[in-house]
Structure 1
Amino acid sequence: MDNAVMRQTVRDRWARDALASLSGFVEIPALSPAFDADWAAAGRLHAAVDHVRRYLADRPIAGASTDVVELPGRTPVLLLDVPARDATTDETVVVYGHLDKQPAAGAWSPGLGPWTPVVKDERLYGRGAGDDGYAGYAAATALEALHAAGGRHARTVVLLETGEESGSPDLDAYLSHLGPRLGKVGLVVCLDTSGADYERLWLATSLRGIAFLDVTVRVLTAGVHSGHASGLVPSSFRILRELLDRIEDPRSGRFKLPELTVAVPPDRLAEVRVAAAEGFLTPQLPLVEGMRYATDDIVELTLANTWRTTLSVTGADGLPPLLDAGNVLRPYTSLKLSFRLPPTVDAGAALRAVEKTLTTDVPFGAQVEIARAEAADGWNSPPRAAWLESTLDAVSADVFGKPWRALGLGGTIPFLGMFGRAYPDAQFVVTGPRGPGNNAHVPDEWLHLEQTERVTEAVARILHAHATAGRAGEGD
């Protein structure tokens, strides 16, 4: 394989065709169904799919075909199916991305807008540029570059869904439906995460799960003057506070339910220590003056964000605004509780344990109601095969000039858990060109164009290594 031809092909495609079409994709307000209940009638998700499909169909990739699959009542999926090229493995590679978007989320800077593509300072601004419109273009460009350079690849299917920003509610159904068509999947490349800088290849190796619910504690059928009732009836807030203390120690942050805790795997702990030693894990958050982080130990701080359960109260009801609050013993207090869970915790079991704790032996016989309870598992990457480990080392040296690094992420991306369950024996490469300050989900989202080219070349090199080495650890 001619690596120089590959690199030049990647640069040429991104500089011309891919960037132009991705800019057109930015113009489509293809909101995810969670933000557009009338998405089917509005047609914007379908417009985004059609826009990218036309680009993919025009690529000069021998034998490639495109297909739009749409199960009844579900958001569409776009496929690019490319037959194997001189591969020594019969495995299929799945490259994942998504085409749905977050809303504008507020005012953008002057000259920028969510649906107005702007190229400035080697960045493409606009909603969906970095999250996650680039993915399909990067995958197609990697395949084009492989063909131009005489490289190899196994059968590769690029799968672009349209519900990721809503939690991928349809993806499990599509993976089941497409299972026979995809065959034996040996490598999954997910292009939808970020790293700690724009100078090296970053792999995400874990994501936390999540459980959330609304909990209401009722003590009265109607509010009563606090001078008449306080002291006679415990406040709903006091009872709710006591219930939460059964789950989390408010001073240490330690969680008391065994269903919410796990031991950190040694390989994940080693990754954190390496990144901490190199200074990548120093948090940059807008703390108020005088506020400290939960600990001064950067390794423990990172583990708290990636491998420990955390509880956030993200909403409340039953509490009037301060200016309207009178001397009343309120009848109820409602809180929305959000638990970020360690990657290997059984999210369903964790949620059931929380619900049981909140509703058993309630102080003073108060009424507790649980509503809108949901959970999603996290994901922990399987051990890397020898061929992938050596390929990452070589690609990082040749393409980035610096060693690759791996990190767990504190957020929750349900699709990775779905892929992990569907393909438990596959190798995973979870990466992307996003990094610090890219503003996904908030105003001024942008895509780092040079890093996107490098990640695209890295993906091409990984596809070639998989085709020539497979799982035997041998290769060109």
Structure 2
Amino acid sequence: MNARDPDLPLQPDDSAAIGAFAARAWDEEIVPALTRYIGIPAKSPMFDADWQQHGHVDQVVREAAAWVESRQVAGLTLEVIRLEGRTPVIFFEVPATKPGSTDTVVLYGHLDKQPEFTGWRSDLGPWTPKYEDGLLYGRGGADDGYAVYASLTAIMALDRQGIPRPRCVGLIEACEESGSFDLPAYLDLLRPRLGDVGLVVCLDSGAGNYDQLWLTTSLRGMVSGVLKVEVLTEGVHSGDASGLVPSSFRILRQVLDRLEDSRTGELLPQSFHCEIPASRIEQAQATAAILKDEVWRRFPWACGADGGATLPTTQEPVQALLNRTWRPTLSVVGVDGFPELKNAGNVLRPYTAFKLSLRLPPLVDGNEAALKLKALLEDNAPYNAKVTFQPDGRAGAYGANGWNAPELSPWLLEALDTASQAHFGAPVGFIGQGGTIPLMSMLQQGFPKAQMMVCGVLGPKSNAHGPNEFLHVPYGKKLTAAVAQVMAACP
């Protein structure tokens, strides 16, 4: 079909055709591809040091690249780029069909996955895909293996209808769940080929509900690493040593008390906080009016001692949104030095180690925070114990920066709302996310004039990184169509 007048706005029939194309592509092509993808344990390098030997990351990259090439999109070129010792990157390019367009749309996603975790439903598993009632269960489908497939489908939806669009570039990495420490080298290599980036579409984020398009307005930064306290060179009889040899666990608790108020969860050092912009507070108020108590009710709370559910840190929706997006929070995500309960004899353990995950407000520098955290935890150790904190990442880049979205251009604000109304029947929503996508900070620094459409399928109960992770396929279909419609509006 010949391209139409690029100045002609999309009509309801156009939106319907885009939506129908996206829905058909998901049913016939994307769900089968993702079903195969979920079955491959392509864990990120941080969780699989032997990823090269195992070959799972290479397999999902090869299969995704083959899928893209098999669509036979006019003018498409694709390259799998491999720098020595680094995870591979898929780079594809499709020329513009909009006359006079000089901007490039960058479509980002990743193919590496979080590890298995425990607690999966008996009929589910991280590498055992299951499609049930519109939900595709398994690790990585929603976070965010679907991105490469949805991105190309959005391009195809426009081309099939003859709707003009800018040049599109796909950038699909395989190190995001490890903090994207391989990505800067690829960005440096590819910068001349990216062109004049006008819009970045990142499909690695979340949604407040499944009823409208959600734009991510901010992302937290992160410092993760291992805090280890050593008191002995080997375990000793607890009856002989306790009361004389200090407990490594007790020392670790004292050290963490420097960082966190254990009663409230508040982070004590003010350097880990930042002032929340007034515009983000206003957006949180508007989002709270939409989501109400679902902001906190959506989590799988355990029953307390009295039979009632565990309570959140706050039940006030605005504060709940700000707590998970603009305030620093510490999580202990792993432990070492403890035997299993069934093997726990009366031995005073020689060391205790915690894997820490410190989420930082969007405007706090991640690397500076990592260095401050290391000094805070290690200095003046109680009992002169050996206390070490080893941040993850590479030298000079121990922490990941957060991201605060630039002000929306009028064209993008209008396009987002129009797309949400067309495909969801509701206005676009705005929400900060508590996760971290290092690429966004990198791209904003490299392309300060680019607009950012950060969104995703991780809505209520989708549970990325945890058990029973699922991809909400009906939402994925509508999101794909909405992305296509926004790209068509890109100048």
Q: 1:411 to 1:128 in 2, by over 3 A?
A: closer
1:141 paired to 2:158: no
Distance 1:308 1:242 in 2: 23
Amino acid at match of 2:371: R
How is 1:391-470 mapped onto 2 (pairs within 5 angstroms)?
391-466=415-490, 470=491
What corresponds to 1:281 in structure 2?
295
Q: CA deviation at 1:54?
A: 2.2
The question of whether the paired residues in 2 share the 8 Å contact of 1:276 and 1:282 is answered with: no
1:200-220 deviations in whole A, cap 9, x for unaligned? 111222222222343445567
What corresponds to 2:205 in structure 1?
193
1:50 paired to 2:58: no
Distance 1:201 1:248 in 2: 36
Q: 1:464 to 1:54 in 2, by over 3 A?
A: same
Q: 1:407 to 1:174 in 2, by over 3 A?
A: same
How is 1:212-223 mapped onto 2 (pairs within 5 angstroms)?
212-217=224-229
What corresponds to 2:169 in structure 1?
157
1:85-115 deviations in whole A, cap 9, x for unaligned? 1154412111011222344445755665545
What corresponds to 1:37 in structure 2?
49
Aligned residue for 1:9, secondary structure, equals helix
The question of whether the paired residues in 2 share the 8 Å contact of 1:215 and 1:368 is answered with: no
Aligned residue for 1:80, secondary structure, equals strand
Distance 2:243 2:32 in 1: 68
How is 1:24-173 mapped onto 2 (pairs within 5 angstroms)?
24-106=36-118, 109=121, 112=124, 114-173=126-185
Distance 1:443 1:256 in 2: 31
The question of whether the paired residues in 2 share the 8 Å contact of 1:260 and 1:309 is answered with: yes
Q: 1:228 to 1:86 in 2, by over 3 A?
A: closer
Aligned residue for 2:75, secondary structure, equals coil
Aligned residue for 1:425, secondary structure, equals coil
How is 1:339-358 mapped onto 2 (pairs within 5 angstroms)?
339-358=358-377
1:324 paired to 2:324: no
What corresponds to 1:474 in structure 2?
none
1:210 paired to 2:222: yes
The question of whether the paired residues in 1 share the 8 Å contact of 2:179 and 2:400 is answered with: no
Aligned residue for 1:270, secondary structure, equals helix
Q: CA deviation at 1:144?
A: 1.1
Distance 1:53 1:377 in 2: 29
Q: CA deviation at 1:157?
A: 0.5
Amino acid at match of 2:390: R
1:304 paired to 2:318: no
Distance 2:402 2:127 in 1: 32
Aligned residue for 1:281, secondary structure, equals helix
Distance 2:61 2:231 in 1: 51
The question of whether the paired residues in 2 share the 8 Å contact of 1:259 and 1:346 is answered with: no
1:269 paired to 2:292: no
Q: 1:293 to 1:121 in 2, by over 3 A?
A: closer
1:256 paired to 2:268: yes
Distance 2:143 2:458 in 1: 8
Aligned residue for 1:119, secondary structure, equals strand
Q: CA deviation at 1:46?
A: 2.5
The question of whether the paired residues in 2 share the 8 Å contact of 1:343 and 1:379 is answered with: yes
Distance 1:215 1:240 in 2: 8
Q: CA deviation at 1:38?
A: 3.1
Q: How many residues align?
A: 464
Unmatched 5+ stretches in structure 2? 1-9, 393-398
Distance 2:240 2:29 in 1: 73
Amino acid at match of 1:372: Q
Q: 1:336 to 1:29 in 2, by over 3 A?
A: closer
Distance 1:441 1:334 in 2: 21
Q: Comparing 100-109 with 82-91, which one deviates more in the overlay?
A: 100-109
Unmatched 5+ stretches in structure 1? 471-476
Q: Please give the TM-score of this superposition, normalised by the length of structure 2.
A: 0.84
Distance 2:171 2:83 in 1: 15
Q: CA deviation at 1:14?
A: 2.5
Q: Percent identity?
A: 44
Aligned residue for 1:160, secondary structure, equals strand
Amino acid at match of 1:414: P
Q: Comparing 247-256 with 132-141, which one deviates more in the overlay?
A: 247-256
Q: CA deviation at 1:174?
A: 0.8
Q: CA RMSD in A?
A: 3.0
Distance 2:296 2:248 in 1: 39
The question of whether the paired residues in 2 share the 8 Å contact of 1:213 and 1:370 is answered with: no
Distance 1:221 1:103 in 2: 31
1:176 paired to 2:188: yes
Amino acid at match of 1:259: S
Q: 1:255 to 1:88 in 2, by over 3 A?
A: same
